[in-house]
Chains A and B, each alone.
Chain A
Amino acid sequence: MSTPLLSAKNLRAFYGPTQILYDLNFDMHTGGITTLLGANGAGKTTTLRALSAMVRTSGEIRFDGKLISNKETADIVRLGVAHVPEGRGTFVRQTVEENLQLGGITQPASQISADVERVFTYFPRLKERFRQQAGTLSGGEQQMLAIGRALMLRPKVMLLDEPSFGLAPLIVQEMFEILRTLNKKEKVSMFLVEQNASLALELADHAYLLETGRVVMSGPAKQLSADESIRRAYLGY
């Protein structure tokens, strides 16, 4: 078996003295989409924040075989880990253009304009809004901007925190279609945290179920969506 793209071993995370994650073990492979399911407060967002060193952790995180759990956020990002955070992390006072430029700020200046055009092919709406302040965009447009900004990094993996949050159902469908395309065409692996379990299981190939900071179940997404208890608790039928 090849080395996993991203893996965690005995990962614990803390907010101050409070422990949020208890010895998580997971790995995901290049090209895949892995989803992390769980109820509110299960520790999904914290897991993503742990991966990009935004909370205090112990344990081992490896990316591309390299140990990254001792690195700072900015250095992890520079390895090709694009984190699209909860609440989208838009630079609201900056324009759409500047937000995209910031997404590629660690990349050579020469590739920026071509990469902006590439983002436009997925999100043509951003082209119309190019000179607008990002804070004036609608929720859906801001989510597009957040993913577009992440693309500017030419990432190997995207950590996506609730991309469906606060969006109209139609927009959510559209967004997940785009994510699928990005995974296939841009070869971006994805680690997806989602409240909307049925959507997430549809998109992902592998899934982990988190309960109060522990992995309680894992397996191929198909297998989890067929599981009786998951269906009752998270899919609602």
Chain B
Amino acid sequence: MEQVVQQIIGGLATGAIYACIALSIVMIYQAIDHLNFAQGEMAMFSTYIAWQLMQWGAPYWGAFFITIAISFVLGYVIERTVFKPVHNAPVLSHIVIFIALFAIINSMAGFIWEFTIKPFPTPFGTKSVLGEGLLSAHGAGMIAVTGVMLGMLYLFFRYTRVGLAMRAASANPDSARLVGIRVGFMNALGWGMAAAIGAVAGMMIAPVVFLEPNMMVTILLYGFAGAVVGGLTSPGGAVFGGFAVGVIENLASFVPHFGAEMKLSIALALIILVLTLKPSGLFGRRIVSRV
């Protein structure tokens, strides 16, 4: 029983990271209607920036916030320079660009910082909190940071005018233009915020998986799973989905014989299951489009 509790809490900690990734996926999906395959690589690149800043002597939290700011700018710039010109292009063009971005960012990180694995510091320490081995201080820190960030995002979208304009632009771009909202600018802001959220996820998970150019590949898959389970149209659902995938993934190791090795397969099976039974996700809404 104690083991189960331990796995659930551990699952919440990694789930927090999946929730961040899922949320950034959903934010970009809302803006441009496509999944951003390069989301994980963007997060990885941001983590390297943080690492570099610390190498240059920046204190952890200084590097943390500077990295968030830089990532926001980079996300914004990527939208304006790469995606704005192809706004009306077919889906396949977008997918090709995503794959290209994935490869470019991945090899750029390798080129600049080499492919060797690097340790990444945690500001929270590695001691156990909550009893013996139940939850590491870093795990608790991940949950706390994610919680604070999600809370701030909620307040931003719920109570600020820019947040309202961003929601309107993604819900109904045509009507948004007709009240004077610059929808393209809102999309770029969405990209910037998604990149910043991804940066937080990358910096939080790096101490666990170590820093290397491919560190986000599996995490991105779990993030996708979380986003799909919760519903691609529901930011809250994506966060829930991320936590759920984290917990399910950890509990899967209790399945006799193959549990531990099949963790990823179980996450992917979950995507298929949800897509089959409820295509719009647990909290998503169905989009009916007129043709």
A interface with B by C-beta (< 8 Å): 52, 54, 72-74, 77-78, 82-83, 85, 89-94, 98, 101-103, 105-106, 109, 149, 153
Contact = CB atoms under 8 A, between A and B. Distances in A.
Given A91-B172, A102-B176, 20 more contacts: A54-B177, A73-B178, A74-B180, A74-B182, A77-B177, A82-B178, A85-B175, A85-B178, A89-B172, A91-B171, A91-B175, A92-B172, A93-B171, A94-B164, A94-B168, A94-B171, A101-B164, A102-B165, A105-B168, A109-B161
7 contacts: A74-B181, A82-B178, A85-B175, A89-B178, A91-B172, A94-B168, A102-B179
Contacts of A103: 179
B87 to A, nearest CB: 13
Contacts of A85: 174-175, 178
Interface of B: 161, 164-165, 167-168, 171-172, 174-183
Interface centre among B168, B171, B179, B183 (most CB of A within 10 A): B179
Interface centre among A52, A83, A105, A106 (most CB of B within 10 A): A105
Contacts of B175: 85, 89-91
Interface centre among A91, A94, A149 (most CB of B within 10 A): A91
B254 to A, nearest CB: 40
A101 B178 contact: no
Nearest to B158: A98
A186 B158 CA distance: 31
Contacts of B182: 72, 74
Given A91-B168, A91-B172, A105 B179 contact: yes
A153 B180 CA distance: 9
Contact of B178 (A77, A94, A98, A109): A77
A54 B172 CA distance: 14
Contacts of B172: 89, 91-92
B189 to A, nearest CB: 14
A179 to B, nearest CB: 18
Contacts of A74: 177, 180-183
A100 to B, nearest CB: 10
A92 B175 CA distance: 11
A90 B171 CA distance: 10
A130 to B, nearest CB: 15
Contacts of A94: 164, 167-168, 171
B289 to A, nearest CB: 14
Contacts of B183: 74
B180 A78 contact: yes
Contacts of B177: 54, 72-74, 77
B165 A105 contact: yes
A105 B180 contact: yes
A106 B179 contact: yes
Contacts of B165: 102, 105
A68 to B, nearest CB: 13
Given A93-B171, A94-B171, A52 B178 contact: yes
A41 to B, nearest CB: 17
8 closest cross-chain pairs (CB), A and B: A89-B175, A106-B180, A77-B180, A73-B177, A74-B182, A78-B180, A83-B178, A102-B179
